Structure 1
């Protein structure tokens, strides 16, 4: 059982422990953001004897991934035989003190800040700011840099008027004898340490599970750094358009592979060596799942994948069954995918539902059809009722996946439409085209719900959408494409518009078009779901 130990340490001990590599900033701490002015105020409080808060340190022999360079200084690893003390609370203050006392240049994203520019105003009263950063209105003998005060030696101090010598000695003494309040956690597990950190930062952003696992799984000997591993994996996913898969999805996958569950508590309880050992196989299983989405369902980019979390049960399947599914397994697995997507199953209580679905995947692995207790309605009425276009909804994404499966071609020349994650971030994306343009339908007095409906959406290339179609009536712009695209009938079939006349396009009949498209999407959904368990009104 760990015991918090209240302590107090001097300036010299604090700086010495940082210099030796004993005190470290763990990876899950935020970047150093304090300004030069904030640091000067902190030193000012110390000189005046004010309390500056307690540092909370966690002493551990766990080799966490830590930020070695406090304030930009190149610090050594923790000495052999010594326990590391990780800063749980007070990182901004501690880094500020260290940078100020060392006179470091701290590199920011956009600029660098020189922390040697902190000075003591020798003429200031106790009611004024004694520690300052602006010396433009002072004479050289009226101020001294913090560096010179602490490290300048007799010759530097002797250069000041004799009536200021007592002031200089007094300020130097106040800094060197100031005692910092600390609480040292000895013997606490990483779970306890990160819980302490999270509770201390209630007003800020809680630690993510990933940030904790980055710290927990770091292993210098095995050269395992989860942060670097994940970043490398993301670079691979970018190459295939699946970079929206999250760190959480990866951790959930590893957890279900090891435990069958994936709550925050389950993930944090994963043994470090077990995590490292399964990493490569887990990543390969996720890659297999993604390849299956891309090839079997022709989902070109992850932005239209109904849920990123779908990689979890599918990676589990491929971990247990490395080969592509065939026969009953394929039928049941595909049925599983579309049921999850069209029922919007993962829109809440994700972790619990993933655990339930892992058991369903176990049945599929045995060649048996799982039983489902969640409702699925893919009737034409349901498609219309639920089809208001929202590019973030699973149901809508599932229908976009059905569109993408057709490999839609350009209206103008029958070339393949390239679908990009960058273009699919919002509902007015370049790839999303209202077949009956919104401006056109608004002039006709149509309701917004029916104008901005998935049944009115096709996937086109951005140039076509912006430069050729605009707000023209479908009969007008389609006549132009009919004159330049000899394959137009085949092109339109790739957009699930089987016949321009039958769908009311030449007559600009939106009601007929809407009805026909509802019918065709109903049939496409039916193809993907095992029929015996459907609720399917016609």
Structure 2
């Protein structure tokens, strides 16, 4: 079938997507490569379609009439979407993804190259022409844009005709006919033919089965995720499906949903959501957890959602509530779910079934050994460290006070600027400029962090700690002790910074163990006696204020790369990504930015950014096949080469210094 006919079929809704298909994942380099191959009449593969009469709610991009067959794309979605997006100038009806991946593709009629629009390079060069405009406009109007006095004008016209002729290229379509095939069989076919792309995960398959019988299931999941996102907590669909699976079957594996009816799943999903709401309220009310960054282990909520469901949707016993929190804090501190998630959830569900929350505590104690927090546990750096949420919790529940105004920073704070902001006790600028030459990891050590209101953080700014710490203690006696800041003035000088960190780590460890002992014993601190809101009434952290933004808490370079990934329509990276021991949960290495599944998910190698590299981290990343970079510029060059886009505006794709070249093996560019 000609490409033009395929596009017409998509427009007439005769081609659509089965609901189990994932969204659009191609990047700009894929789109550029597709059109370059078609222009040169290279083979680009065909399409596999399932011709059937589907339920209108089980497909995307089609509203078929009764008795009208529709071709559901099993293989070729990315090509079909790219062709339609570029040649029609808009996404197809079944589109789910980021349209910027195929927007503004240009063709140079002299060099016969395809690139995405770069204003510096293309704005004043009439030989760069929009591919979309070529297909959407009369050819004569496009030809007028090429100066007729240009050398090789006739040859350029032939190239435009060649490009325009892509619509007449024939692509093979393989059909699977018949309504007799069940969903499992079709999904198996999809996975076999899609071996070069991203296969369906067990979560995708479980959801596909549910949607086949209950089309509204996916929308119900999305609605719940949207509600929590509005409250500042961002969960993934796979996670929520696991919560519902645990509630419905007391199992961790999605395969257990095979025996669950649609009505039973719907009930389980509602119970799981009610349990999660209760837990978020509990975490906020008792631990002061009020935004996503300090929520820590979301997987710990899965077993707890089952516990709350078994208790009728709420737990009123204060001792049980406190011991739930005791287990939760230990689960995120020691990386309970950093290894094989399904195995850990299964063990926790078994422990829960045997002895409730006490069983959970016994299980994590047996797995971990000692549950004591030690000073060395606070050696980590960055807001992504596991003990960062613990420091936030200590601030909220232990009556820490603001350094400037002396007011309590508990979770009961009200007002427009009541949210907490990260503060470096020893300002970054002073440490970087010190004679000792402190590095990024030392500057961003957890022991150098405390929390203040935004106004106080701004007022202190880059003041000398030897001066401002003495002043705030004088104005508000006891304020330093409330923040676990060493009161020995000799440690406040820049040259004693390492000793300051060591002293503060000891103070933090003592405070953490005291808090955890209270939780384990079921004791409730006097200032955490707020009644819990109803389980079905999800609270936000501070109704009159926004949670701290990523810019408030994170390294500017990390923030910039995350924003760049969004602008480039590539997979969102994980910040502060941990490489852990599968058995013990011990953190082996932390990357500032990582794409564990590749920048083009499932299709490219894993990539990481290390802003403060060390040999051990590099070794662990290399062992796991990561290609890593030690500067944002090197990462940007890699993105330029991968995507074929001039990101830094220097009119060069993948600019690399003459004495440097890409590594041919996993590891950092040499």
Residue in structure 1 matched with residue 119 of structure 2 by the alignment = none
Which digits, 9 at most, give the CA deviation of each residue in 1:167-215, with x for residues without a partner? xxxx99x959x68341426544434434444454444444455655665
The one of 60, 66, 69 equivalent to 2:59 is 66
Residue 74 of structure 2 corresponds to residue 88 of structure 1: yes
Q: Over aligned residues, Cα RMSD in angstroms?
A: 4.9
Partner of 1:358: 349
Q: CA deviation at 1:357?
A: 0.9
With 520-529 and 33-42 compared, the bigger mean Cα shift is at: 33-42
The answer to whether the 8 A contact 2:13-2:63 is kept is yes
Aligned counterpart, 1:464: 456
**Cα contact 1:281–1:319 (8 A) shared by 2:** yes
Give, in whole Å, the separation in 2 of the partners of 1:444 and 1:16.
68
Task: Find the aligned partners of 2:195 and 2:10 in 1 and give their Cα distance.
Answer: 27
Corresponding position: 1:324 with 2:315: yes
Match of 1:190 in 2: 183
Match of 2:483 among 487, 495, 506: 495
How many pairs were matched up? 455
| Partner residue in 2 for 1:312 | 302
Picking from 425, 439, 445, the partner of 1:435 is 425
1:349/1:205 CA distance change after superposition, 3 Å: same
Q: TM-score, normalised by structure 1?
A: 0.67
Distance 1:450 1:10 in 2: 61
Structure 1 counterpart SS, 2:510 = helix
Given the superposition, is the C-alpha separation of residues 336 and 99 from structure 1 closer, same or farther in structure 2, using an over 3 Å criterion?
closer
User: Is 1:371–2:362 an aligned residue pair?
Assistant: yes
Deviation at 1:258, TM superposition (A): 1.7
Pair 1:302-2:310 in alignment: no
TM-score with structure 2 length normalisation?
A: 0.55
1:344 paired residue number: 335
Alignment partner of 1:241 is 2:232: yes
Task: Give 1:279's match in structure 2, choosing from 269, 273, 280.
Answer: 269
In the alignment, does 2:15 pair up with 1:23?
yes
Residues 326, 79 of structure 1: alpha-carbon distance in 2 compared, 3 angstrom cutoff: same
Residues 1:477 and 2:484 are matched in the alignment: no
Cα deviation digits, residues 224-277 of structure 1 (max 9, x gap): 252x444433442244322x3222221110111122223354468865554344
Distance (whole Å) between structure 2 residues aligned to residue 328 and residue 527 of structure 1: 10
What pairs with 1:195-274 in structure 2 (closer than 5 Å)?
195-207=188-200, 215-218=208-211, 224=216, 226=218, 228-242=219-233, 244-263=234-253, 265-266=255-256, 272-274=262-264
**1:353 shift after superposition:** 0.7
1:291 aligns with 2:317: no
**Aligned mates of 1:175, 1:455 — CA distance in 2:** 65
Aligned residue for 1:85, secondary structure, equals strand
Could you list the runs of 5+ residues in structure 2 that have no partner in the other structure? Answer: 92-98, 105-131, 412-418, 523-670
CA separation in 1, counterparts of 2:228 and 2:403?
A: 30
- Residue correspondence of structure 1 range 98-247 to structure 2 within 5 A: 104-107=88-91, 108-109=99-100, 113-114=132-133, 116-117=135-136, 136=146, 180-184=172-176, 186=178, 187-207=180-200, 215-218=208-211, 224=216, 226=218, 228-242=219-233, 244-247=234-237
Q: Aligned equivalents of 1:530 and 1:376: distance in 2?
A: 19
1:26 and 1:87 in contact (8 A); partners too: yes
CA distance in 2: counterparts of 1:120 and 1:389, whole angstroms: 59
Question: How many angstroms does 1:307 deviate by?
Answer: 0.4
Residues 98, 476 of structure 1: alpha-carbon distance in 2 compared, 3 angstrom cutoff: closer
Indicate whether 1:411 and 2:395 are aligned. Answer: no
In 1, distance between residues paired with 2:200 and 2:236? 16
In 2, are the aligned partners of 1:455 and 1:514 still within 8 Å (CA)?
A: yes
List per-residue Cα deviations over 1:142-188 (Å, max 9, x = no partner).
99x99xx9xxxxxxxxxxxxxxxxxxxxx99x959x68341426544
Deviations 1:295-339 (A, max 9, x none): 122212231123011221222122121222415533542332233
Structure ID, larger Rg: 1
The Cα of 1:415 is off from its aligned counterpart by: 4.2
Label 1:62 to 1:418 Cα distance change in 2 as closer, same or farther (>3 A).
farther
Q: Relative to structure 1, is the Cα distance of residues 67 and 311 closer, same or farther in structure 2, using a 3 angstrom cutoff?
A: same
Q: 1:294 to 1:514 in 2, by over 3 A?
A: closer
Q: Deviations over 1:333-354 (max 9, x none)?
A: 2332233233321111111111
Paired residue for 1:523?
Answer: 514
Q: Is the 8 A contact 2:404 2:472 kept in 1?
A: yes
CA distance in 1, matches of 2:3, 2:216: 35
CA distance, structure 2, for counterparts of residue 259 and residue 503 of structure 1: 59
Q: Distance in 2 between matches of 1:518 and 1:366?
A: 25
Matched, 1:400 2:392: yes
- 1:384 and 2:368 matched: no
Rate the CA distance shift 1:374–1:452 in 2: closer, same or farther, 3 A. Answer: same
